[in-house]
Amino acid sequence: MVLQLGQGTDIHGADSTKAAERAVRDALWRNFLQIADALGQPRDNMVIEVTIGAPRPETIDKAAVAAVFPYGQVTVTCEAGGLEIATPDGKDSTLLAHAAVIVRMDVPDDVLGDAQ
């Protein structure tokens, strides 16, 4: 299992989906997981669980967040969290979202061999 954490913002417009997508990219783009390749397994066998914490989680487009991933079996869960800071005039706000990305892979015993 690998846990990756990220933070994303939408500076103007308070778009929770944009902030969530940016949080996922922030979590992913610092790493290059070669587990599937090293074990000779298809990358699509990766099971990816994404939890997003953001204001108004019900407004997040889960399919758009899942589309950030180039491969794998992705599930997205959204919870209340993050931060929203209103502009002084109250007409706009900056929104902050957090992402926790857990990556797992079931590997057949015969592939692991002595590494078990």
**Tens of pLDDT, residue by residue, the chain (116 residues):** 889 999 999 999 899 999 999 999 999 987 777 778 878 888 898 999 999 999 999 999 999 999 999 999 999 999 999 999 999 999 999 999 999 999 998 877 776 665 55
| Domain of 61, in residue numbers | 2-107
Q: Where would I find the beta strands (DSSP E) of the chain?
A: 2-10, 46-54, 73-80, 83-86, 93-105
The pLDDT value given to residue 112: 65
| Residue 113 covered by a domain | no
pLDDT at 77: 98
Residue 79 lies in a domain: yes
pTM: 0.88
Query: What's the total number of domains in the chain?
Result: 1
The sign of the torsion formed by the CA atoms of 59, 80, 27, 44 equals: negative
Asked, for residue 82, whether it belongs to a domain, the answer is: yes
114 domain residue, yes or no:
no
